[in-house]
Structure 1
Amino acid sequence: MAENVQGSGGGSWSKWQIALIFGAPLALGATAAAVYCYSKSGGDSSQDDEKTRTNTPSGSGEKPVSASGDGGEMPIQPDQTPLEKAQASKNRGNKYFKASHYDQAIRCYTEAIDVCPVDKKADLATFYQNRAAAREQQGKYAEVISDCSKAIGLNPTYTKAMFRRAKAHDHNGDKLLCLEDTTAVCILEGFNHQQGMMLADRMLKEIGKEKAKDRYKNRVPQLPSGQFIHSYFSSFSNDGISLETDPPAVGDEAGTDEELRCYLKAKKLFHTGKYDEVVQNCIEEIESDGEYKYEALLMKATFFLLMGQAEWAVPDLDQLIEKEDADKKLRANALIKRGSMHMQEGNSAPAMADFATAVQLDPDNPDIYHHRGQLNLLLEKVDEAVKDFEKCNELNDDFGLAFAQHSYAKYRLSMLQQSPLQMQNAMQMLDTCTTKFPKCAEGFALLAQAQNEQGLFAQADENFKKAVKLEPDNPTAHVHRGLLHLNWKKDVQGSIDMIKEALKIDEKCDFAYETLGTIEVQRGNMDAAKEYFENAINLARTEMEMTHLYSLSVAAEIQSKVANKLNIKPHMPFT
């Protein structure tokens, strides 16, 4: 199964999919699914909703209309109990709040707090929360935090106060405290609090980005495993540099390593799996202005991309793309790789611009459409992906990998369009792929993935086993099979053992580490989860990947902390 340098070679779950779901089982799968369930959040009955306010300016001399309708304040009745007096003060405060008279509202809420019996904790909590809402409108975030904290102290599961305090922490730049409060809100409301989910997701991204920035800057570049490199190059039908037939001096009949120089030696080292010396020999070819300097530029840049050193690859790619005397397939391949690099960095517009330029340069190059199809899938442009894969297959009907991905993209499209007939046709196409290309492991793996999603677990397992047999040194099939068994048989330990097989095959399989970390989060084993995420972070090839992994790790840590604080035990969906 081919892996692209822009991803982990098997997909990943979003940050909130690996959350500790309390009382709400999480659907486990090999591909990412929708995370947020949008619905209105609950709360108390206090009238502090912005939509109910008038346009009366804050601090104006006008008074809001009182309940008595005479423009004055509602008098407190002498025979009222202390609680009734407190409620009356709160009600007056709500009217001031709706009219944007926040100072008067604060005064009324303070009166309510002062007269309320101390044993009426729920009522007191509401009064503090309402006062915090008024202070929020004035931008007094330290006081908002203080009032919300008092409300939460009186009512530990008061989600409205928690979320208001979270927003105040956000304004103050306290991201971890904000995340802790929003996480509590999401857990207590069954992950149905729309604004809370959105704020938590933003905090995770920002925290992950901050942590990744320094870590990535100081990382030691390293090549991925030989299997990953092989899979990456196999995702091109013709990249112009790795073919053994060109130049002929690289074949078995070629001279010894001592007789070969520069690029020719780099190419022989590539085909014998001695990747560590490839770049240096390419540098020698470029510096000597050798016959294969353009091929050397492309190979050198490709290896820098594989090491996650995009900033080192860009000058070589730019230089080659601008060389009009270079072979158009080399230039098109450089555009494909630069476009994919832009996508790694989250810049889809320049990525697609590079692919458009490549089409203009070499319109009959199937690799352009194959890789653009993969990027369109990442962008959820499934219909465009189908068209690209179809064009690739028209130009090269002997490229099993592209045929398999075309089939799976059609399956994805049928799911989006909810068309049973199209789904049936797509499943038949996936099955056809395994007979037309019986040596293409990706065909069996994608058929298995679709069958898993359809609940055809036994058939999916058989096809994953065939993929493993075809490519025994490819770790990703073991990971996907482990996930299948987790979803199918709920056999946690058996699934973990399958995924660990991937690490025996390739100790640099970041997909396996990330998946194991995810499972340990679900099991409540946070120390183990953080260790797995840390291993994956060490292998991250891009800052974007590292940001995602840090977000997962932080999400696990914060949710564990909140669960302990709230004394909530996680619901284990597969125990």
Structure 2
Amino acid sequence: MLSFSLSLLLCTHTRPTLHKEPKTTTAMSDVVPTNPSTWPRWLQITAAAAGVGAVATAAYVVLKRPDLSSKELSGGATTARSAPTTTTTAAPQTRGTAQPVTSTPTSDAEQAADEERSALKAKANAFRKKGNEAYKARRFDDAINAYTKALETAPVVDEDCAVYYCNRAACYLFQKKYDKVIEDCTAALRLRPLYTKALNRRAQAYENKSKFRSALKDFTTILLIDKFQNEAASKAVERLLEMLGRRGAAKYLETKPKQLPARKVMVSFFDNFGPTTFGPEETGSVEELKQQLQEKPGNGDILAHLCKAHLRDQDFEAAYETCKTAVDALQEMKLENGRKETLVSAMNILGSFQMLRLELQEAERTFSEALRFNKRNANTLIRLAACRLELGRTSEALTDFTTAQRLDDKNPDVYFHKAQAHISMGAAVMAFSDLQRAIKLGTKVYGPYVHLALLHLQTQDAKSAIDLMQEAVTKFPEVSTVHSYLGEIYSAVGDNDKAVECFDKAISLDPHNANPYVHKGLVFVQQGNMEQGIELIHKAIEVDDACESAYARLAQIHVQREEYEEALKCYDKAIAATHAGQELVAFFSCKEACVAQQAVVKAHPELRPTEVQNM
């Protein structure tokens, strides 16, 4: 299944015909000496055929000089297109009377010129065949020499020459002479602008020279030409988008102010962990704990309890500030009588807030330090693994999850978060068993139900997906997000009426949850009611101006409408709104895909989408 970033390119296309450049003419005096006796043999034949005298005053279709290189070809000033054709003249016509059209008889000189050109063309093709044989035998220098002779022999610069340039580029590619590959492929593409072999080889050379955006543009062109049926190009695009997305996200995080995200993000984040993830549930009230703190100012134990009370009450700003103070205070106290576990729990909370602030390296250090106090704390290992998963270090994350599982194989959080690692690696089969185990162990969060339902949907098992989400609705009846996810499942299987009912229920449970508005809007878009759908997505932004999914969906709609500048603005807003490392990478990847498609469609209007694909 294609990723979100590649899927935004997926529009229905018609297969284009090869672009033919218009034949151009250039004054002979601009490019050749005016004395015919000094001209090369091939030019004298052509001039005689065209009836040119001692002073070149006529215009002609410029033919190729034998020493023409790909660099000269790239200049485009003297590129030939075809051999001269027989001219025809029409007799004067009288109004209403058709007059016969007669052709000028072919002269002996013109016939000789045609024969000369045919012979040179056959000789060039023979050199090409020799080059192909040498290439198959991996004698790349011999192949290069043969293709070069084919280019020097060819009587005109035409699409055959594009093949010679492209074949020579293939040899240079094996020799890792990437500049020469780019030079020859560019020459070939000036003759055949939609030549997929030349695009592919140039893209490989660009990628090897770390010119990733240029490579992405060429691979994207291939995808549009082949209507997304080229598997190799699809994989290359995915690889480049992932790399560019990670690079863009990393650069962005270097300058992004460190702050806690919107409240809804933090609610969703902590909802993914069971109630005992950070130790025993807190029973004391905030007021009682503050009173105790007045009696014992700076007491680490009381501060740790107050932090958990704020977290329970979803006062996240207060929980974060209190947690920092609690960790510092506890580290100055003697770690006895269970205080070590209190410190570890406080550090797990602190590391979680650091993840929310996208301070991932700091979070990793915090969790690692907590393991120094208790290396057998499974919840710390789960948090550390989740952090490393956000950092893109999946194999390390899986190792941490496996260790946590050995320490506490009855902890549903282990299996749920390990499943997320498997999903990110594309190992859905492994994720299935982990999610089923988390549910069987009586998970207290809805995440395993949602992820397992989506996996069922991906494997075309819609009934199991719906049954599972209905079970989740029964278990979490007051959770708006669960009803919204059930609506997404119904929408995916085409039951739009039930989908809308679920989205309306989700909105009634939590009018400040923007996602149901987004997905209800998408139902209307799929039904062809574009304006009402867009209106609902804008409503989601009114409800929550940090709803990254609303901006991302609007961007997709703009891309499908070829409104690329508007799409890029929406992706920028989605990037500014997100506080999840993996989502940040995805949005940067989408932005890169949008820029690439914009460039390709501008260069090749014939590749424009002909229909809007359903999202």
TM-score (normalised: structure 1): 0.77
Alpha carbons of structure 1 residues 239 and 232: separation in structure 2 relative to 1, 3 Å: farther
Contact 1:216/1:546 (<8 A) preserved: no
Contact 1:452/1:484 (<8 A) preserved: yes
Q: CA deviation at 1:411?
A: 6.7
2:525 is matched with 486
1:250 is matched with 286
1:34 is matched with none
Q: CA deviation at 1:341?
A: 1.3
Contact 1:389/1:403 (<8 A) preserved: yes
Task: State the one-letter code of the partner of 2:284.
Answer: P
1:357 is matched with 403
Alpha carbons of structure 1 residues 205 and 388: separation in structure 2 relative to 1, 3 Å: closer
Q: CA deviation at 1:164?
A: 1.6
**Structure 1: 5+ residue runs without aligned partners?**
1-10, 26-41, 43-76
Contact 2:456/2:464 (<8 A) preserved: no
**Structure 1 stretch displaced more, 263-272 or 300-309:** 263-272
The 5 Å alignment of 1:415-494 reads 416=459, 423-487=462-526, 489-494=527-532
2:326 is matched with 285
Contact 1:401/1:442 (<8 A) preserved: no
Contact 2:571/2:590 (<8 A) preserved: yes
Contact 2:453/2:469 (<8 A) preserved: no
Q: In structure 2, what is the Cα distance between the partners aligned to 1:545 and 1:498? A: 22
Alpha carbons of structure 1 residues 284 and 189: separation in structure 2 relative to 1, 3 Å: same
**Structure 2: 5+ residue runs without aligned partners?**
19-114, 334-338
The 5 Å alignment of 1:533-544 reads 533-541=571-579, 544=582
1:396 is matched with 442
2:349 is matched with 299
Out of 519, 531, 537, the position equivalent to 1:499 is: 537
Q: Counterpart of 1:117 in 2: which secondary structure?
A: coil
Q: CA deviation at 1:563?
A: 0.7
Q: Counterpart of 1:431 in 2: which secondary structure?
A: helix
CA RMSD after TM alignment? 3.5
Alpha carbons of structure 1 residues 559 and 304: separation in structure 2 relative to 1, 3 Å: same
Q: In structure 2, what is the Cα distance between the partners aligned to 1:384 and 1:98? A: 43
Task: State the one-letter code of the partner of 1:89.
Answer: F
The 5 Å alignment of 1:75-154 reads 81-118=119-156, 121-154=158-191
2:47 is matched with none
Per-residue CA deviations over 1:265-324 (Å, capped at 9, x if unaligned) read 444544565433433322222222276544432322221111111222223322333434
Out of 323, 341, 345, the position equivalent to 2:391 is: 345
Per-residue CA deviations over 1:331-381 (Å, capped at 9, x if unaligned) read 433222222112222233332333333334444333333433444444444
Q: In structure 2, what is the Cα distance between the partners aligned to 1:110 and 1:203? A: 33
Q: Counterpart of 1:126 in 2: which secondary structure?
A: helix
Q: In structure 2, what is the Cα distance between the partners aligned to 1:230 and 1:474? A: 11
Contact 1:492/1:574 (<8 A) preserved: no
2:586 is matched with 548
Contact 2:220/2:597 (<8 A) preserved: yes
1:163 is matched with 200
Contact 2:272/2:445 (<8 A) preserved: no
Per-residue CA deviations over 1:374-424 (Å, capped at 9, x if unaligned) read 444444444544444444344437x4625743xx626734753x66xxx53
Contact 1:166/1:178 (<8 A) preserved: yes
Alpha carbons of structure 1 residues 382 and 142: separation in structure 2 relative to 1, 3 Å: closer
Task: State the one-letter code of the partner of 1:333.
Answer: N
The 5 Å alignment of 1:183-198 reads 183-198=220-235
Q: In structure 1, what is the Cα distance between the partners aligned to 2:425 and 2:204? A: 30
Contact 1:482/1:494 (<8 A) preserved: yes
2:269 is matched with 232
The 5 Å alignment of 1:372-411 reads 372-396=418-442, 399=444, 401=446, 404-405=449-450, 409=452
Alpha carbons of structure 1 residues 237 and 546: separation in structure 2 relative to 1, 3 Å: closer
Contact 2:265/2:579 (<8 A) preserved: no
Alpha carbons of structure 1 residues 441 and 362: separation in structure 2 relative to 1, 3 Å: same
Contact 1:536/1:549 (<8 A) preserved: yes
2:86 is matched with none
Alpha carbons of structure 1 residues 271 and 114: separation in structure 2 relative to 1, 3 Å: same
Contact 1:490/1:574 (<8 A) preserved: no
Task: State the one-letter code of the partner of 1:310.
Answer: L
Task: State the one-letter code of the partner of 2:206.
Answer: H
Alpha carbons of structure 1 residues 513 and 257: separation in structure 2 relative to 1, 3 Å: farther
Task: State the one-letter code of the partner of 1:401.
Answer: Y
Q: CA deviation at 1:98?
A: 2.8
TM-score (normalised: structure 2): 0.72
Q: In structure 1, what is the Cα distance between the partners aligned to 2:314 and 2:2? A: 28
Per-residue CA deviations over 1:82-119 (Å, capped at 9, x if unaligned) read 3333323322332333333434433333333233332x
Task: State the one-letter code of the partner of 1:113.
Answer: L
Task: State the one-letter code of the partner of 1:159.
Answer: T
**Structure 1 stretch displaced more, 200-209 or 298-307:** 200-209
2:38 is matched with none
Task: State the one-letter code of the partner of 2:373.
Answer: K
Q: Counterpart of 1:105 in 2: which secondary structure?
A: helix
The 5 Å alignment of 1:259-278 reads 262-267=303-308, 269-270=310-311, 274-278=315-319
Q: In structure 1, what is the Cα distance between the partners aligned to 2:151 and 2:448? A: 69
1:221 is matched with 258
Alpha carbons of structure 1 residues 202 and 370: separation in structure 2 relative to 1, 3 Å: closer
Contact 2:207/2:215 (<8 A) preserved: yes
Q: CA deviation at 1:566?
A: 0.8
Q: CA deviation at 1:561?
A: 0.9
Task: State the one-letter code of the partner of 2:192.
Answer: N
Q: CA deviation at 1:458?
A: 1.6
Q: In structure 2, what is the Cα distance between the partners aligned to 1:266 and 1:467? A: 30
Q: What is the total number of aligned residue pairs between the two structures?
A: 501
Matched, 1:14 2:4: yes
Alpha carbons of structure 1 residues 356 and 242: separation in structure 2 relative to 1, 3 Å: closer
Q: In structure 1, what is the Cα distance between the partners aligned to 2:194 and 2:231? A: 18
Q: CA deviation at 1:24?
A: 7.1
Alpha carbons of structure 1 residues 471 and 101: separation in structure 2 relative to 1, 3 Å: same
**Structure 1 stretch displaced more, 295-304 or 253-262:** 253-262
Q: CA deviation at 1:560?
A: 0.5
Matched, 1:314 2:304: no
Task: State the one-letter code of the partner of 1:275.
Answer: F
Alpha carbons of structure 1 residues 400 and 97: separation in structure 2 relative to 1, 3 Å: closer
Contact 2:480/2:505 (<8 A) preserved: yes
Per-residue CA deviations over 1:119-150 (Å, capped at 9, x if unaligned) read x6222222222232333344433233222222
